A and B are shown apart, each in its own frame.
Chain A
Amino acid sequence: MPEIIRSRDVIVFFKGDSYTVAVSQAMVNGGWPGGQGVQWVDPPVGEDIRIVTYSRGLYGGFLVWGSDEQGDDFTALTRNQPHYRFATIFLGGSLISTSTYERYTYDSRTMGGPLVPIVYKVNDFLYFSLRGYWTNEDEVSKALLPYAPAFFTGVCAQVPKASNKFYLGIQTSL
Chain B
Amino acid sequence: MSEIIRTRDCTVHFKGDAYPVAISPAMIANGWPGCQGVMWDDSPVDEFRVTYSDGHYGGFLLWGSNESSDQWTAITGQQVKYGYGIICAGGWLISTSTYEKYTYFSRTHAVPLAPIVYIPGQRVVFSLRGYWTPEDEWTPSGSPVPNTYYLAYIVQEPRASNNFNLVLQTAI
Among residues of B, the one whose C-beta sits closest to the C-beta of A172 is: B89
- Is there contact, CB below 8 Å, between A157 and B40? yes
Q: How long is the Cα–Cα vector from A70 to B85 in the complex, in angstroms?
A: 35
The tally of CB-CB contacts under 8 A between chains A and B is: 52
Q: Say whether A123 contacts B19, CB under 8 Å.
A: no
Among residues of A, the one whose C-beta sits closest to the C-beta of B58 is A171
List B contacts of A171 (CB < 8 A).
Answer: 40, 58-59, 89
Q: Which of the candidate stretches B27-35, B41-49, B113-121, B161-169 sits at the interface with the other chain?
A: B41-49
A interface footprint on B136-172 (CB within 8 Å = 1, 0 otherwise): 0000000000000000000000000000000000001
Which residues of the partner chain A approach B43 to less than 8 Å between Cβ atoms?
158
Establish whether residues A2 and B40, one from each chain, have CB atoms under 8 Å apart when the complex forms. no
Asked if residues A122 and B17 are in contact (CB atoms below 8 Å), the reply is: no
Does B56 count as interface, using CB distance less than 8 angstroms?
Answer: yes
Would you call B57 an interface residue if the criterion is a C-beta within 8 Å of the partner chain's C-beta atoms? Answer: yes
A14 and B45 contact, Cβ closer than 8 Å, known pairs A155-B58, A157-B58, A158-B40: no
- In the assembled complex, B25 has its CB within 8 A of some CB on chain A: no
B16 contact set on A, CB distance < 8 A:
93
In the bound complex, what is the Cα–Cα distance between A157 and B17 (angstroms)? 16
Instruction: Give the most central of B41, B48, B172: most A CB within 10 Å.
Output: B48
Nearest chain A CB to B43 CB, angstrom units? 7
Chain B, interface size category, equals: 10 to 19
Shortest CB-to-CB span from B169 to chain A, Å, is 15
Asked whether any CB of chain B lies closer than 8 Å to the CB of A92, the reply is yes
B17 touching A159 by the CB < 8 A rule?
no
Q: How far, in Å, is A37 (CB) from chain B's closest CB?
A: 20
Instruction: Please name the residue on chain A nearest to B91 by beta carbon.
Output: A93
Q: CB-CB contacts of A4-41 with B at 8 A, as 1s and 0s?
A: 10000000011010000000000000000000000000
CA distance A173 to B44 in the complex (A): 25
Chain A residues touching B, range: 20 to 34
- B39 cross-chain contacts in A, Cβ below 8 A: 122-123
Let me know if A118 is at the binding interface, CB within 8 A: no
Rounded to whole angstroms, the CA-CA distance of A123 and B49 in the bound complex is 12
Partner of B42, one of A13, A16, A159: A159
- The residue in B16, B42, B45 that gathers the most chain A C-beta atoms within 10 A of its C-beta is B42
| Contacting residues, chain B, for A173 (C-beta < 8 A) | 172
A164 to chain B, nearest CB (A): 5
Contact present for A3 and B46 (CB under 8 Å): yes
Return chain A residues, CB-CB under 8 Å to B41. Answer: 122
Task: Please name 12 pairs of A and B residues whose Cβ atoms are closer than 8 Å in the assembled complex, sorted by A.
Answer: A13-B19, A95-B19, A122-B39, A122-B41, A155-B58, A156-B40, A157-B48, A158-B43, A163-B46, A164-B46, A171-B58, A173-B172
Q: Which 5 A-B pairs have the closest CB atoms?
A: A122-B40, A123-B56, A157-B40, A14-B19, A2-B46
8 additional A-B residue pairs with CB within 8 Å, beyond A3-B46, A92-B90, A173-B172: A13-B48, A93-B16, A121-B42, A122-B42, A155-B57, A158-B48, A164-B46, A171-B40
